[in-house]
Copies of this chain bind each other. A is one copy, B any other.
């Protein structure tokens, strides 16, 4: 039976957090479908799985929990997906795609290269929830499965490379100290984000995240001309 609650949750989530297949997000029909609450079963399963993977990880997410949150029955789930790994693959791919899209929007926005890097780091984030993609690196079953692991690996390789490119650009334009190494600096900045989530969750406060990012940007500021 259709679950209005499940659909509304998955839908509201998608709408307000911008989570939807790339390209589809700006489609008026998609918005309408969300508002009406008629997101199809397959999509609700994917969204619910994304939420649960984010909150509880792969090991902590049961098919039963996915079914309850999505409002789909046992039969529906196994009709649309072969099982838990198959569902996780769809969910992880979607989360990776969204992280990339949102970062890219920041990177190609206005401002100097350093401003865009700072903007990305300072962007509003729900620090206590952590990173939906980075979180998966702590899941042994995800890391042990080459297919589940690939999107995680690719996301961080892309992100670090993209930031290194912006830093190289800033260095070339004389915005940044010529002695600074773009690759290792980019790695440090991505690490501060991921580690900031750890500190925030440990402290039980998003402030710890902000402080770490702040410290990193002040360190970087010393190398800006």
A contact residues vs B (CB 8 Å cutoff): 55-57, 59-60, 130, 134-135, 137-141, 143, 149, 152-153, 155-157, 160, 177, 180-181, 183-199, 201-204, 208, 211-216, 218-220, 222-223
Contact = CB atoms under 8 A, between A and B. Distances in A.
A223 B221 CA distance: 10
A191 B198 contact: yes
| Copy count, this protein chain | 2
A-side interface mostly: helix
Contacts of A57: 57, 59, 138-140
Contact of A153 (B139, B197, B203): B203
Contacts of A184: 211-212, 214-215, 218
Contacts of A190: 195, 199, 212
A181 to B, nearest CB: 6
A57 B219 CA distance: 33
A177 B192 CA distance: 21
Contacts of A201: 137-138, 143
Contacts of A155: 202
A56 B204 CA distance: 22
A218 B183 CA distance: 12
B199 A196 contact: no
B156 A203 contact: yes
Nearest to A55: B140
A214 B190 CA distance: 13
A191 B195 contact: yes
B187 A191 contact: no
A16 to B, nearest CB: 22
A143 B129 CA distance: 12
Contact of A192 (B130, B160, B195, B222): B195
A155 B111 CA distance: 39
A46 B137 CA distance: 25
A187 B218 CA distance: 12
A199 B153 contact: no
Given A55-B140, A204-B153, A191 B220 contact: no
Nearest to A200: B137
